[in-house]
A and B are shown apart, each in its own frame.
Chain A
Amino acid sequence: MQPLSRRQMAWRAAQDLPEGAYVNLGIGLPTLCGDYIPPGREIVFHSENGVLGTGPAPKKGEEDSDLINAGKQLVTLVPGGSYFHHNDAFLMIRGGHIDIALLGAFEVSEKGDLANWITNDPTATPGVGGAMDLAAGAKEVRVLVEHITKEGEPRLKKVCTYPLTAPGCVKRIYTNFAVIDVTPDGLVVREMADGLDLAALQKLTEPRLTLANDWKKLTAPAM
């Protein structure tokens, strides 16, 4: 079997972002998607701290300490970009003006429930940030998540075991093994990594999977 690397997962998710979309990338893995937009496609990245049109990391010597993204990394502004305050940043999110939020996850349920802000570890410091606003307010929520935990436990669950970020919000899941849609009939596999069949993927997934008739092999360029 040939699962995707984290960068390949980000590449795969980036290919589905449509021309002209306003997109919020969650911190961590989703942020990498910004590096893999197909040439010629114009997509505007929204950052919850008040930036529309974040660009790549600055070149050495061109860093500006007043310009960061939601993950508090130094970024640049693309031509046409703008700055605004927090209320407008979240008006865009909560008011349904963001076309797609690409978020990380701890777990996703077969109903599209998202858990990505806290585990069941009582000693950990909790933090929610903008996750609940994005999950509740973006027009569409897609998730990037490794299919299983380090211990081999499935992250796709019948019911999330961690507290929810929002119920029923996730439409599409990109993992290192598959691309899966959340539908009213359950989870539908659109793409599978080389060397996997449905039975093998099902063993790594808690809820029942259906294979789409037109399913494809999940591939990404070497990187």
Chain B
Amino acid sequence: MIDKRVPDLAAAVAGIKNGATVLCGGFGAVGEPIALTEALLDLGIRDLTIVANNAGTGEIGIARLINEGRVRKVICSYPRTTDPRAFEAAYKAGRIELELVPQGTLSERLRAAGAGIGGFYTPTAAGTRLAEGKETRVLDGKTYVLEKPLKGDVALIAAYKSDRWGNLVYRKSARSFNPVMAPAADMTVVQVKMIVDLGSLDPEAIVTPGIFVDRVVMVR
């Protein structure tokens, strides 16, 4: 029987190692897998590379990992989000590395990793500082920048409902990066608000099919 449910947060994040590249879903704190992210603290791991749209809000989730000195590098589009004090303090003190990626390029790099694509040419950032050092190519008269896939060792994502197969549905704008990251890591762990019986999710409404999911934990 396929059963991806795990009993608690410790089981959900078990085995994640020092130096891991961790994809964290959401947009700001909406759709951010805060409980899973904070569960990494109890593992005692450090030197993490966090991939997310933002770099933590207030003192929760990614911000808490940064405050506890667990994060070596952040790959994100917009660290200056609502209440970015944890990242800003670490960045100004030189304790954290930042790789800034345009948001659509970040999303497409994650998609490429999940889709087995070796890279892609995007018009975004052509002619700007963020394209420096990257291969560019003129195709049909337009300049494009070569971007490479961005794969995680683990993806931590948040969804609304799941079943024991790991099929996921989301709620409103809490969807954002979560379905993009689910296929883009070696292991994908999901925190959900509720777990329902297999067969009770509308197949037409499942956004992330369970094939992309390894572990599901319920966090109320």
Please report A residues at the B interface, Cβ cutoff 8 Å.
47-51, 64-68, 72, 77, 83-87, 89-90, 93-94, 118, 123, 125-133, 136-137, 163-167
Contacts and interface: CB of A to CB of B under 8 A. Distances in A.
Interface residues of B, number: 47
B87 interface: yes
A65 B27 CA distance: 12
Contacts of B81: 72, 127
Q: 10 shortest A-B CB distances, which residue pairs?
A: A90-B104, A133-B104, A127-B80, A129-B78, A66-B172, A132-B102, A85-B179, A130-B103, A49-B27, A127-B78
Given A67-B173, A132-B128, A90 B103 contact: yes
B122 interface: yes
Contacts of B124: 94, 132-133, 136-137
B176 interface: yes
Nearest to A84: B175
A136 B123 CA distance: 6
Contacts of A67: 172-173
A47 B125 CA distance: 20
27 contacts: A47-B173, A49-B27, A50-B27, A50-B176, A66-B171, A67-B172, A67-B173, A72-B28, A85-B176, A86-B27, A86-B103, A90-B103, A94-B108, A94-B123, A125-B87, A127-B77, A127-B79, A129-B78, A130-B103, A132-B104, A132-B124, A132-B125, A132-B128, A133-B103, A163-B129, A166-B126, A167-B126
A131 B77 CA distance: 10
B88 interface: yes
A117 to B, nearest CB: 8
Contact of B175 (A65, A85, A163): A85
Nearest to B82: A72
Contacts of B101: 128
Contact of A167 (B111, B127, B176): B127
B103 A129 contact: yes
B104 A66 contact: no
A136 B27 CA distance: 22
Nearest to A93: B104
A128 B103 contact: yes
B103 A87 contact: no
Contacts of B167: none
A128 B130 CA distance: 10
Contacts of B125: 132, 136, 166
Interface string B73-101: 00001111110100110011000001011
Given A90-B103, A166-B126, 9 more contacts: A66-B30, A66-B31, A85-B207, A87-B179, A125-B79, A125-B92, A126-B100, A132-B124, A167-B128
Interface secondary structure of A, over-half rule: loop
Interface of B: 27-28, 30-31, 53, 77-82, 84, 87-88, 91-92, 98, 100-105, 107-108, 111, 122-130, 170-180, 207
A85 B128 CA distance: 27
Contacts of A137: 104, 123-124
Contact of B126 (A123, A130, A131, A136): A136
A84 B98 CA distance: 28
B19 to A, nearest CB: 24
A51 B100 CA distance: 24
B88 A164 contact: no
A87 B212 CA distance: 16
Contacts of B82: 72
Given A125-B87, A163-B128, A87 B108 contact: yes
A10 to B, nearest CB: 22
